[in-house]
A and B are shown apart, each in its own frame.
Chain A
Amino acid sequence: MSVSEDRSWTARIRGRAVGALPPERLLPDKQPSYVASWIYIFGVLSLASLVMLIATGCILALKGPGWWHFTGVGHFFNSMHLWSVELFFFFMVIHLWGKYWMAAWRGGRARVWMTGAVTFLVAIPCALTGYVSQQNFDAQWISTQAKDAMNSVGVGAFFNLLNFGQMYSYHVLLLPVAVVGLVIAHVLLVRRHGVVPPFELREIAERPAQPPEQAQQADPAQPAGPVPPAQREPQT
């Protein structure tokens, strides 16, 4: 690398980006053998639902409420948008359950877990602002109920759920940008740290049992019994 490249901020960013995520890790053509399980597909199913959500949402935004309420094609895309969000949360919650029970924060994957958890939390108001942006009596009912909920927890001064313009802006711009940004960060972190492996159940089962008194003598600070896999996992 020449001196001019060292001083160039684009070259430094490129070097750091390629160092953190080499192309073969960013777009791998092989996966670990333990990924061959149905429980590992719910992340990508959530991603597919998100793509459908954004695509149908863009079409709805282009055409407007009159189109999605009063035409057959509009009803179709409105329903596609609704069922995409239903499936998005359906798959995302199962993804969350699976990753929680396999302690997906192991092996230096705390940021992977946190970006996923925050994405879930941000997606909830993203969906809520969509329900109050429908421009029908259903939206009016939901917004009045949600307004009371916001007031009851002390944040009613910051959001007016009866304000269609404000809720629509949140729904089509601010919150989707946040969700997509978090999802991109989440996927890049997964690619950087790799997919979390399952617990090593066989190794735990075959390890000879250690008497509790010996374990206490060896290290009083450590609990007796086999070391949990989360602690044995090498840091990546």
Chain B
Amino acid sequence: MAAVFNLNHHASYVHWHFFQMAVPNVIVIIVMLAVFVAAIFAPFPRHGGGDSSS
């Protein structure tokens, strides 16, 4: 089965002044930020058994 991503080439980098980072790392960090924001604002499913507290 062919790989989903072709890795047989040099890695791509984001380079801006002193900042240099591989594109996959940039993507992972952006996804982490997106998941973090989604975790704060996305509604959490509640069970019908009533609210529990301790």
B39 with A93: CB separation less than 8 A = no
Q: Does B10 contact A (CB under 8 A)?
A: no
Interface residue tally for chain A (C-beta within 8 Å): 17
- Check: B44 CB closer than 8 A to any chain A CB: yes
A31 pairs with B54, CB closer than 8 A: yes
Question: Do B36 and A28 have beta carbons less than 8 Å apart?
Answer: no
Cα–Cα, bound, A72→B51 (Å): 48
Contact with B along A23-65 (1 / 0, CB 8 A): 0000010111100111101100000000000000000000000
CB neighbours of A194 from chain B (8 A): 54
Assess whether A30 is in contact with B52, with CB atoms less than 8 Å apart.
Answer: yes
List 4 extra interface pairs beyond A33-B51, A36-B46, A37-B40, CB under 8 A.
Answer: A31-B54, A32-B53, A38-B44, A41-B39
Q: Fill in one digit per residue for B35-54: 1 if any A CB lies within 8 Å of its CB, else 0.
A: 11011101010100001111
Task: Report how far A94 CA is from B38 CA in the complex, Å.
Answer: 11
Residue pair B28, A90 in contact (C-beta under 8 Å): yes
- From 82 to 97 in chain A, residues with beta carbon under 8 angstroms from any chain B beta carbon are 90, 93-94, 97
Write out the residue numbers on chain A whose beta carbons fall within 8 Å of the beta carbon of B44. Answer: 36-38
On whether A38 and B42 interact (CB within 8 A), knowing A90-B28, A93-B32, A94-B35, the answer reads yes
Q: Which chain B residue shows the least CB distance to A42? A: B39
* A36, A90, A93: residue with the most chain B Cβ atoms closer than 10 Å: A36
22 contacts between A and B (CB under 8 A): A30-B54, A31-B54, A32-B53, A32-B54, A33-B53, A36-B44, A37-B39, A37-B44, A38-B40, A38-B42, A38-B44, A39-B39, A41-B39, A42-B39, A90-B28, A93-B32, A94-B32, A94-B35, A97-B36, A98-B36, A98-B39, A194-B54
Chain B residues in 8 Å Cβ range of A90: 28, 32
Report B-chain residues with C-beta under 8 Å of the C-beta of A28. 54
- A38's partner among B28, B32, B39, B46 (CB-CB below 8 A) is B39
List residues of chain B with CB within 8 A of the CB of A94. Answer: 32, 35-36, 39
* Interface pairs A-B: 10 shortest CB-CB: A38-B39, A30-B52, A39-B39, A33-B53, A30-B54, A36-B44, A33-B51, A94-B36, A37-B44, A38-B42
How close is A137's CB to chain B, nearest CB, in angstroms? 14
Docked pose: A165 CA to B28 CA in angstroms: 32
Interchain CA distance A37-B53 in the complex, whole Å: 14
By beta carbon, the residue of chain A nearest B47 is: A36
